Amino acid sequence: MHFFLLVFACALYGSTFALNNGLMRTPPTGWLAWERFRCDIDCQNDPKNCISENLFIDMADRLSEDGWRELGYVYVNIDDCWSSMERDGNGRLQPDPKRFPGGIHKLARYMHNRGLKLGIYGDMGTHTCGGYPGTTLDKIQIGAQTFADWEVDMLKFDGCYSNFTEQEQGYPLMSKALNATGRPIGYSCSWPAYCGGLPPKVNYTQLGEICNLWRNYDDIQDSWDSVLTIVDWFFDNQDVLQPAAGPGEVERPRYAAHW
Ligand SMILES: *[C@@H]1O[C@H](CO)[C@@H](O)[C@H](O)[C@H]1NC(C)=O
Ligand SMILES: *[C@@H]1O[C@H](CO)[C@@H](O)[C@H](O)[C@H]1NC(C)=O
Ligand SMILES: *[C@@H]1O[C@H](CO)[C@@H](O)[C@H](O)[C@H]1NC(C)=O
């Protein structure tokens, strides 16, 4: 008995505009701290697992020395709980000085020297989900500039502690602000996850115009059951989600696989 794998690539050319910062022509792959390390900031008692520059350096070494980078796993992404509880004198976010003594710019250079990229986390709202300083509408521009100055390559923009009206303004505004810095920074929007992940509340046409990728559904927990629940959600809603996916060109081919 033979199995035939037939893949039909159907190029359906739409006329929508999409975010064009030259990034993420294929799905980005790499590592993000949250799933396992959460908001562990106890470096005194748990130095190997706490959110600190050492954790990200450690992961960068693994990706670059164990063959992951060659497979495309190039993003090393910081999630919540990296920052100090206070902005600096110029109103900029700053890393926790004890846990990130070298600063974010130095950490980005560490990644770049190894052919990797650094991602960072911000939150559209008064506070991050973990209670750290958020990025309200008036702080978006300085936030984007700070990340660009640090030569960061990607931003996850979460949505805790804001309402829909603010998100509706903030997510497009951050897209513009990142673009205005002149540095290509991959833009991951958590917005859909804060309004149920589905139309009509989520406008995937708009998301495609302002974000490189988006977050639709629940956090992954450290269990296979959790992974399955998420896979099921994408399966159940694929008719809505699949047409929105693509590499983000003005004319984007969409692929359908059958076997
Ligand atoms: C959203 O939050 C802003 C700022 O706190 C507030 O002024 C506005 O009334 C809120 N809008 C809604 C619809 O709750
Ligand atoms: C900014 O947007 C323009 C128009 O889409 C695009 O050509 C340019 O590459 C973008 N620049 C950055 C840094 O994202
Ligand atoms: C969704 O966004 C697109 C592009 O911004 C816009 O043209 C369209 O009117 C929006 N759809 C709805 C239902 O708001």
Which has the higher per-residue pLDDT, 106 or 247?
106
What's the pTM?
Answer: 0.91
Smallest-distance ligand from the CA of 204? 3
Please give the mean pLDDT across all residues of the chain.
90
Q: Is 168 in the pocket of ligand 1 (CB under 6 A)?
A: no
Find where tokens 């070494």 sit. Answer: 61
Rounded to the nearest angstrom, the distance between the alpha carbon of 180 and the centre of ligand 1 is 27
Q: Which atom of ligand 2 is nearest to the CA of 21?
A: 14
CA 15, 19, 25, 31 torsion-angle sign: negative
DSSP string, 53-86: HHHHHHHHHHHHHSSTGGGTEEEEE--SS-B-SS
In sequence order, what are the residues at sequence separation of 6 or more whose Cβ sits closer than 8 angstroms to the Cβ of residue 97?
Answer: 84
Q: Is 16 in the pocket of ligand 3 (CB under 6 A)?
A: no
Contact call for residues 162 and 195 (beta carbons, < 8 A) = no
Q: Is 44 in the pocket of ligand 1 (CB under 6 A)?
A: no
pLDDT score at 165: 98
**pLDDT digits 0-9 by tens, 31-67:** 999 999 999 999 999 999 999 999 999 999 999 999 9
Query: How far, in Å, CA of 80 to CA of 49, rounded?
Result: 14
pLDDT band at 248 (very low <50, low <70, confident <90, very high): low
Find where tokens 């589905």 sit. Answer: 198
For the cut 70, the answer to whether the pLDDT of residue 3 exceeds it is: no
Q: Candidates 16, 17, 19, 20: which one to mutate for ligand 2, based on the most atoms within 8 Å of Cβ?
A: 20
- Note if the bond before 200 is cis, omega within 30 degrees: yes
DSSP string, 112-123: HHTT-EEEEEEE
Query: How far, in Å, CA of 180 to CA of 182, rounded?
Result: 5
pLDDT score at 17: 64
Query: How far, in Å, CA of 212 to CA of 117, rounded?
Result: 16
CATH code that applies to domain 8-257:
3.20.20.70
pLDDT band at 247 (very low <50, low <70, confident <90, very high): confident
Q: Is 21 in the pocket of ligand 3 (CB under 6 A)?
A: no
Rounded to the nearest angstrom, the distance between the alpha carbon of 77 and the centre of ligand 2 is 23
Mean per-residue pLDDT, 84-111: 98
pLDDT band at 245 (very low <50, low <70, confident <90, very high): confident
pLDDT score at 11: 37
Q: Which atom of ligand 1 is nearest to the CA of 164?
A: 13
For the cut 80, the answer to whether the pLDDT of residue 10 exceeds it is: no
Residues with CB under 6 A from ligand 2: 20-22, 179, 182-184
Phi and psi of 213, rounded to 5°? Answer: -155, 170
Rounded to the nearest angstrom, the distance between the alpha carbon of 18 and the centre of ligand 3 is 13
Per DSSP, what are the bridge partners of residue 258?
A: 6
- Fill in the DSSP letter of residue 8: E
Mean per-residue pLDDT, 84-96: 98
Q: Which atom of ligand 2 is nearest to the CA of 178?
A: 14
pLDDT score at 227: 96
Secondary structure E strands in the chain: 6-8, 29-32, 73-77, 117-123, 154-158, 186-189, 213-214, 256-258
Mean per-residue pLDDT, 210-220: 94
For the cut 50, the answer to whether the pLDDT of residue 256 exceeds it is: no
Rounded to the nearest angstrom, the distance between the alpha carbon of 133 and the centre of ligand 1 is 18
pLDDT band at 2 (very low <50, low <70, confident <90, very high): very low
Phi and psi of 57, rounded to 5°? Answer: -65, -40
Rounded to the nearest angstrom, the distance between the alpha carbon of 194 and the centre of ligand 3 is 18
For the cut 70, the answer to whether the pLDDT of residue 16 exceeds it is: no
Mean per-residue pLDDT, 231-240: 96
Residue 114 parent element (H or E):
none
Smallest-distance ligand from the CA of 206? 3
Give me 2's structure tokens. Answer: 């033979």
Catalytic site residues? Answer: 158, 219
Considering the chain, what percentage of its residues have pLDDT values greater than 70?
A: 89
Smallest-distance ligand from the CA of 205? 3
**pLDDT digits 0-9 by tens, 57-66:** 999 999 999 9
Distance of CA 253 to the CA centre of its chain: 23
For the cut 70, the answer to whether the pLDDT of residue 191 exceeds it is: yes
Domain ranges of the chain: 8-257
Q: Which atom of ligand 3 is nearest to the CA of 16?
A: 4
Query: How far, in Å, CA of 119 to CA of 115, rounded?
Result: 14
For the cut 50, the answer to whether the pLDDT of residue 9 exceeds it is: no
